[in-house]
Amino acid sequence: MPFICRWGIISTGGIASEFSKARLWTDSRSRNVDDVVHRVTAVGSRSVEKARQFIDTSLGGDKAIKAYGNYTQVYKDADVDVIYVATPHTYHYENSLDAIKAKKHVLCEKPVTSNCAELKSLLNAAKENGVFFMEAMWTRFQPLSLEFKKISDGGELGLPISVHADLSGNFNIYNIPRTHRILDPNLGGGALLDLGPYPLVWAIMALYENPANGATDPTITGSILKTPITGVDCNTSFTLNFKQSNLAAQAVLSCSINTNALNPGVTVRYEKGTIEVASPIYAPKSFAVRYLDEHGVIVKEEKRLFEYVGRGMHFQADEVARCIRDDKKESTLWGHAKSLLEMHIFDEVRKQGGYELPLGVEKVV
C-alpha cells in the first residue's frame, strides 16, 4: 500500500496556489509514483473566505478539505501530518515554529528563514519535538538536477572550476506598491532572500557537494546595490571560493529584481568542458554538455531535455512523504546543513552590503 501523506497548507498566496495545482493531489501513479500518495486535508488563511476560495480555485473544490480562518487550527488538526509554510519570508520562522511545537512535520518555502540564527532555533525545536523539517528547495529534487549531478560529479569533465549563475526577475518595481513583498523590508524584500537561493543551489550542487570539496564551507564576498524606493537590495552579487587541496573553484552568483534573468542561467566550467543550464534555473527543462579538448575546441556535445507533468514541485513533496514514512528527520539531498550554509551566506552578503532588516523583523538574532 502506498504511504498517504496528509498536508496542511498555510496561506493562500501565489506559491501556495502553484504548489496546490502541482498535480500532487491527483493519483501519484499517473506520474509513475506508486509508493507515496498526497492528500491536502486542511488549508489555513488569515481569512476563512480566502481559505474556502483557495480550495475551490486551487484544489478543485474538494469538500473533504477543511478551511480554517487562521493557521493555528491547521497545526492542531489531527488529520494533518505535514505543514507547507508558504507565507512571506519573515513569517517562516514563527509559522514553522508553531507547527513544530504542535508536533507537525514542516516543509517551509525558501528562504527558509530571515537569518541563520532563526534557522538554528527552528532546527533545535524540530529536534526536540522529533519532527521532519525541510526547506522547499524544489530545484534539488527535479530529474534534471539528479542527472546534472551524475555528470558533474562523474569525472569525465574533470573537476569544476567555476559556476556563473543568475536569477533575476523584472518586478516592475516603480509601479508596484511599496508594500509588495519584493519591496517591503518588513517582509524581507529584495533580490537576495527571494531569488538568491536559486543561483546558490547550483553552486551548492556543483561545488559544495562535489566529492573533492568534502562539504566544506566557502569564503564569501558580497556586494549590494539598493533601490532608493524602499532600501531593499535591488542588484546583488556574491562570490564563493571553495579551496581544498585538490579543488580550487569559484562561484559567481547574482540576482536582481529590476531586470530579466540571463539565459542560460547557469554555466559550470570544468577542466574538460562545460555544462550550460537553460532558464528558468529554478525548474529548468534542458542543459547542454560540451566536452572540450586542451585547446578549448568542442569534441563532443550533448543536449539533455526533460519532460514531466506539472512544473516540478511534486518531486520535493514526494521526498517529504518518503522521509516521513521512513522516520527521517531531514532529507539527504537538501538537508539541514545546506539550508544553514545558505542562511549563513545570506547573512554575510547582507552584512557586507549593508542591508539590515528593520528592527524586530528578525525574531532571533
Ligand X SMILES: NC(=O)c1ccc[n+]([C@@H]2O[C@H](COP(=O)([O-])OP(=O)(O)OC[C@H]3O[C@@H](n4cnc5c(N)ncnc54)[C@H](OP(=O)(O)O)[C@@H]3O)[C@@H](O)[C@H]2O)c1
The footprint of ligand X (CB under 6 A) covers: 11-16, 45-46, 50, 86-89, 91, 109-110, 136, 138, 181, 194, 282
- The minimum distance between CB 13 and ligand X, in angstroms, equals 2
| Alpha carbon 296 to chain centroid, angstroms | 34
Q: Are 159 and 260 in contact (CB under 8 A)?
A: no
Residue nearest to ligand X (CB): 13
- Looking at beta carbons only, is 5 or 107 nearer to ligand X? 107
- The minimum distance between CB 155 and ligand X, in angstroms, equals 32
Which residue do the cell numbers 486535508 mark?
41
- Looking at beta carbons only, is 22 or 220 nearer to ligand X? 22
The C-alpha cell that represents 76 in the structure block: 492542531
- The minimum distance between CB 298 and ligand X, in angstroms, equals 33
Angle at 334 between CA 280 and CA 185, to 5 degrees: 65
| Alpha carbon 79 to chain centroid, angstroms | 26
How far apart, in whole angstroms, are the C-alpha atoms of residue 23 and residue 5? 14
| Buried/exposed 123-156: b ≥16 CB within 10 Å, e otherwise | bebbeebebbbbbbbbbbbbebbeebbebbeeee
- Looking at beta carbons only, is 24 or 292 nearer to ligand X? 24
Please enumerate in sequence order all residues whose Cβ is within 8 A of that of 15, keeping only pairs 6 or more positions apart, or say none. 86, 109
- Looking at beta carbons only, is 138 or 242 nearer to ligand X? 138
- Looking at beta carbons only, is 142 or 213 nearer to ligand X? 142
- The minimum distance between CB 56 and ligand X, in angstroms, equals 14
- The minimum distance between CB 89 and ligand X, in angstroms, equals 4
